[in-house]
């Protein structure tokens, strides 16, 4: 029970010192109010919320600037997959301490990302906790009325597309926690760094949001593992899928670890934290989405096809044999 | 590091079992999507976020149904003070366990309040934590464009009004933690229960929201202590205030504890968790706001006047002498 009642309200000065500079939107009222305003514009407001917990979603040893970026970017990734343009976010910060050495780089990096992605801080709450730190962000985006891209629109014949590469973040976590990938890459600091950075700082695909909105029948971001997330999308749409595993895009570092039997394909397909966009697109519109990807400097890869049926997606190897995945995704419970 | 990766995604079944029934708004998509939609309606969307942490904002021994109600109601209270009509909320739940004995009454009570206040669940995130549980809620309300009631509009001459009674929740916490009030009320279970219930289950003043919007020049909810919150409102508006402490509404139980010297007035003025509406109203409109209070069955009391000046509010006793408050409010840091 913290009962630190003081005249000067250090909670308010903490907010003023670190977070007021991020509240650039007029609807944030410079963080002096209890509430913010998202102004009316005729658009629908897309709302998404994702929390990151120390020791669960990030490591206590992760640098504070990467923690800030991850906390915001996992939400930006949801907005990208929904076809929404970022409009702002609110932040709940459960802190053990208010050390400047942690808060300064955290707030600075959060401000940089807020600016880069045009997603200003609108408000928030800072609370003290004796336990692990937690950052909960609710982010807002705009889409024209009725145009949010859901999970339920995938239809048989649609092609399944995914951005970027899959499985790097899971391998980055393996490196950070001293797993097999750490040993295998002991003499390759560049590959280690590339994988670790995919774990710590996701690259949300917001530049593709407009094209996803224009061309995808269903979309979601890959946060809990490609296999499990595709399973959820298929279930929501009442369809099944066939995935050609040899088409799934792996980075050079990931492919090399698979070739050396350090990692197995299943780990990559079920690994979390990719924050790529997974979407289904009618064949006639695949070229347009891929062109939008090229324009954004972003790889977009077709990995399979939606088929009729109620069973889970089938993952086929190079010989057309089905891989039976023991795990599909990450789950908290 | 929790790495419980399973086929069946118990996180999804937890959400489906406990929280899907609360997602009654079409924009929630039955919680099967990553995001929700707040549909366009020409209104401004008011956004507020408040978290409650076990051991900080509620006691680990508090019943789960009261924890759920408190988590939602502290946010509803913000919407009421901003003059906004509830539109929905998103929930982040950081849980140590997924015990049905805790989650069932928690979710049921949350659903009852969501229905009572017409504020449906739109989405959320459940994460595991090894530390204290935490519930972070971001709530949304609607106001006509540009009509959110802020903190900056108080003007000299405005009367200062407050709803309900002040200080009961602080005394309720004192009862629960075995303080002086617990001993003094040992033989008065009704008074104990009345105070405890004010601490555990706030009564947000949403029925008064429309009148606040129509008549108040500035408003906020009293969450960190009346004295401190009025100080913040005055600072935001660039004004000062004079408060007649004998006018501040205390419950019979609180007044009796003050009369017996068990509690001092300062404790009540600086105690947190009141969740009443504090607002400033031009003299010509005071009657209208009070009439709206009567229509809602809610006491509204004038406690002072806004005056010009930059100094903090002055609290005057029955002899017109200034009380010097050592503490104004609750602070987390």
Name residues whose C-beta falls within 8 Å of residue A243's C-beta, 6 or more positions apart in sequence: A160, A230, A303, A304, A313, A314, A315, A316
Q: What is the DSSP letter of A58?
A: B
CB contact under 8 A, A35 and B228: no
Q: Angle between the A64-81 and A100-116 helix axes, to the nearest 10 degrees? A: 30
pLDDT tens string B93-127: 998 877 888 999 999 999 999 999 999 999 988 88
Q: A70: helix, coil or strand?
A: helix
Statement: residue A289 has pLDDT above 70: yes
At A315, the pLDDT band (50, 70, 90 cuts) reads very high
Q: Angle between the B100-116 and B64-81 helix axes, to the nearest 10 degrees? A: 30
Query: Could you write out the three-class secondary structure of B1-65?
Result: CCCCCCCCCHHHHHHHHHHHHHCCCHHHHHHCCCCEEECCCCCEEEEEEEEEEECCCECCCCCHH
Stretch (H or E) spanning B154: none
How does DSSP assign A212-254, residue by residue? HHHH-SEEEEE-S-HHHHHHHHHHHHT-EEEEEGGGS---HHH
At B2, the pLDDT band (50, 70, 90 cuts) reads very low
Instruction: Give residue B115's pLDDT.
Output: 97
Chain A residues whose CB is inside 8 A of the B20 CB are none
Strand partners for A306: A241
Stretch (H or E) spanning A156: none
Q: How many CB pairs under 8 A join A and B?
A: 276
Which range is most confident: A1-15, A247-261, B85-99?
A247-261
Instruction: Give residue A8's pLDDT.
Output: 42
Chain A residues whose CB is inside 8 A of the B32 CB are 151-152, 232, 236
A49-63, A241-255, B284-298: least confident range:
A49-63
Q: Angle between the B189-200 and B168-176 helix axes, to the nearest 10 degrees? A: 110
Mean pLDDT, residues A231-236 taken together:
96
The rounded distance, in Å, linking the Cα atoms of B266 and B258 is 10
In order of their start, the domains of chain A are 11-143 (3.30.1330.10), 159-323 (3.90.650.10)
Closest residue on chain B to A46 (Cα): B37
Other C-beta atoms closer than 10 Å to the C-beta of A317 total 12
At A317, the pLDDT band (50, 70, 90 cuts) reads very high
Chain B residues whose CB is inside 8 A of the A42 CB are 40, 42
CB contact under 8 A, B128 and A36: no
Closest residue on chain B to A143 (Cα): B37
Name residues whose C-beta falls within 8 Å of residue B240's C-beta, 6 or more positions apart in sequence: B234, B306, B307, B308, B309, B310, B311, B312, B313, B314
Closest residue on chain B to A218 (Cα): B33
pLDDT tens string A40-96: 778 999 999 999 989 888 888 899 999 999 999 999 999 999 999 999 999 999 988
Nearest CB to B128: which of A33, A56, A128? A56
Name residues whose C-beta falls within 8 Å of residue A86's C-beta, 6 or more positions apart in sequence: A76, A79, A117, A118, A119, A139, A140, A141, A206
Question: What is the rounded end-to-end Cα distance, in angstroms, of chain B?
Answer: 28
Chain A residues whose CB is inside 8 A of the B122 CB are 47
By CB atoms closer than 10 A (0-12, 13-18, 19+), residue B1 is: exposed
What's the number of CA atoms in the CB half-sphere (13 Å) around residue B260?
12
pLDDT tens string A144-192: 999 999 999 999 999 999 999 999 999 999 999 999 999 999 999 999 9
B267 annotated among ligand-binding-site residues: no
B330 annotated among ligand-binding-site residues: yes
Quickly tell me which residue has 């800030």 as its tokens. A68
A315-329, B60-74, B146-160: least confident range:
A315-329
Q: Angle between the B252-259 and B189-200 helix axes, to the nearest 10 degrees? A: 110
CB contact under 8 A, A41 and B40: yes
Instruction: Give residue A9's pLDDT.
Output: 56
Mean pLDDT, residues B27-46 taken together:
89
Closest residue on chain A to B150 (Cα): A33
Q: A303: helix, coil or strand?
A: strand
């Amino acid at each position: 029970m913290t009962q630190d009642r003081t005249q000067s309200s250090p909670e308010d000065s903490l907010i003023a010192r670190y977070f007021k500079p991020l509240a650039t939107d007029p609807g944030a009222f410079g963080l002096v109010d209890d509430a913010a305003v998202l102004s009316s514009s005729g658009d629908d407001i897309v709302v998404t919320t994702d929390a990151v917990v120390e020791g669960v979603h990030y490591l206590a040893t992760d640098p504070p600037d990467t923690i800030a970026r991850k906390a915001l970017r996992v939400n930006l990734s949801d907005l990208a997959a929904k076809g929404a343009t970022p409009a702002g976010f609110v932040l709940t910060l459960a802190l053990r301490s208010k050390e400047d050495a942690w808060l300064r780089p955290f707030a600075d990096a959060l401000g940089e990302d807020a600016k880069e992605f045009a997603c200003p801080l609108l408000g928030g709450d800072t609370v003290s906790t004796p336990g692990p730190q937690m950052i909960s962000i609710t982010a807002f985006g705009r889409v024209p009325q009725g145009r949010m891209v859901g999970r339920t629109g995938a239809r048989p014949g649609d092609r399944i597309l995914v951005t970027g590469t899959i499985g790097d973040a899971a391998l980055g976590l393996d490196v950070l926690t001293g797993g097999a990938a750490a040993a295998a890459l002991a003499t390759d600091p560049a590959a280690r760094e590339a994988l670790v950075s995919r774990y710590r700082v996701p690259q949300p695909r917001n530049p593709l949001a407009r094209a996803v909105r224009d061309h995808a029948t269903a979309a979601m971001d890959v946060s809990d593992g490609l296999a499990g997330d595709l399973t959820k999308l298929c279930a929501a749409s009442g369809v099944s899928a066939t995935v050609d595993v040899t088409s799934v895009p792996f980075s050079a570092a990931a492919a090399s670890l698979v070739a050396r039997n350090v990692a197995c394909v299943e780990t990559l397909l079920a690994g979390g934290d990719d924050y790529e966009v997974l979407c289904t697109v009618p064949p006639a519109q695949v070229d347009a989405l891929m062109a939008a990807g090229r324009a954004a400097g972003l790889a977009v890869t077709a990995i399979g096809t939606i088929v009729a049926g109620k069973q889970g997606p089938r993952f086929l190897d190079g010989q057309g044999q089905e891989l039976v995945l023991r795990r599909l995704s990450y789950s908290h419970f």
